[in-house]
Amino acid sequence: MADPLLTLSGVHTHIGPYHILQGVDLVVPRGGVSVLLGRNGAGKSTTLRTIMGLLKPSRGEIRFDGRLIGGTPTPAISRAGIAYVPENMGVFSDLTVGENMQLAATQGAFDATRLSWIKALFPPIATFWEKPAGTLSGGQKQMLAVARAIIEPRRLILIDEPSKGLAPAIVTAMTRALGELKETDTTILLVEQNFAMASALGDTVSVMDDGRVVHAGDMAELSGDAGMQERLMGLSLEVHQ
């Protein structure tokens, strides 16, 4: 693939005595959405944490825009233009929605045009601006988490299971918002178990199992092949819609 934005080559990560990532090879092309699928415990979140520098790879290479970033401290990786929305969202409950947004804006003042765009993407951000984030519903918190990650333009955003625990209507709203974000020049690496959401947004897909990537290809190919889904993930589209 010509000049990808992010590549992991043979990445191993240990957590204490546990050998979690066992040679991950992953390519994220520039632009669009790359989806990372895999059963529970496959190593998807560990992969995102390793990219973000929260875990140090014990072996292998991570390149962002051609530069080696494996083992670089998290703040430097963030400054290079990578944002991360963790599984547990990282929202400050005691602060208002507005204060949560303010903390995410490293440049201090908001870019007014960008903030209006984000409020249009995620209406609850505007509605609950003065409310403590702790009073938001799960779906609204998830929207706030994504909104925080994109308050400044990012080259790459890593999002860990944004649909988790959300009602179908909220999943639809989140899918629409991420679809709009995809149209900007931000590249998205999306971990998602909701196959309907993954296939609606994804351009490419990688499937992990036991700490490795066991399949990489076009999302359209996997979406159209129930047998391949069954083989790779032990699930079918029907049961996951």
Give the span between the Cα atoms of 60 and 12, in whole angstroms. 6
CA dist., res. 64 & res. 164, Å (int) = 28
Residue nearest to Mg ion (CB): 45
- Coil, strand, or helix at residue 132? strand
- Which span sits near ligand ATP by CB under 6 A: 43-51, 69-77, 93-101, 136-144? 43-51
Residues that bind Mg ion (CB under 5 A): 44-45
Other residues' Cβ atoms within 10 Å of the Cβ of residue 71: 12
Report how far residue 54's alpha carbon sits from residue 56's, in angstroms, rounded to the nearest whole number.
7
Q: How far is the CB of 64 from ligand ATP (least distance, A)?
A: 20
Q: Nearer to ligand ATP by C-beta: 97 or 201?
A: 201
Q: Under DSSP, is residue 68 helix (H, G, I), strand (E, B) or coil? A: strand
Is residue 4 a contact residue for ligand ATP (CB under 6 A)? no
Which residue in the set 7, 46, 163, 206 belongs to the binding site for ligand ATP (CB under 6 A)? 46
What is the identity of the amino acid at 236? S
- Residue 225 per-residue DSSP state: -
Q: Which of 28, 44, 118, 147 binds ligand ATP (CB under 6 A)?
A: 44
Q: With respect to ligand ATP, which residue has the nearer C-beta, 4 or 43?
A: 43
What is the residue type of 203? D
- Least separation in angstroms between residue 41's CB and Mg ion is 8
Enter the DSSP assignment of 208: E
Cβ proximity to ligand ATP, 151 vs 191, nearer residue:
191
By CB under 6 A, which span of 37-45, 58-66, 78-86, 174-182 interacts with ligand ATP?
37-45
* 83 vs 148: CA distance, rounded Å: 9
**130-169 positions binding ligand ATP, by CB under 6 A:** none
Output 91 or 118, the one with its CB closest to Mg ion.
91
Task: Name residue 61's amino acid.
Answer: E
Nearer to Mg ion, 44 or 154 (CB): 44
Among 42, 97, 173, 197, binds ligand ATP (CB under 6 A): 42
Question: Which of 83-116 are b and which e, b meaning 16 or more Cβ less than 10 Å from the residue's Cβ?
Answer: bbbbbebebeeeebbbebbeebeeeeebeeeebe
Distance of CA 107 to the CA centre of its chain: 23
When asked if residue 18 is in the footprint of ligand ATP (CB under 6 A), the reply is yes
Residue 139 site contact among ligand ATP, Mg ion, none (CB < 5 to 8 Å, cut-off depends on kind): none
Q: Give contact residues for ligand ATP (rule: CB under 6 A).
A: 15, 18, 20, 38, 40-46
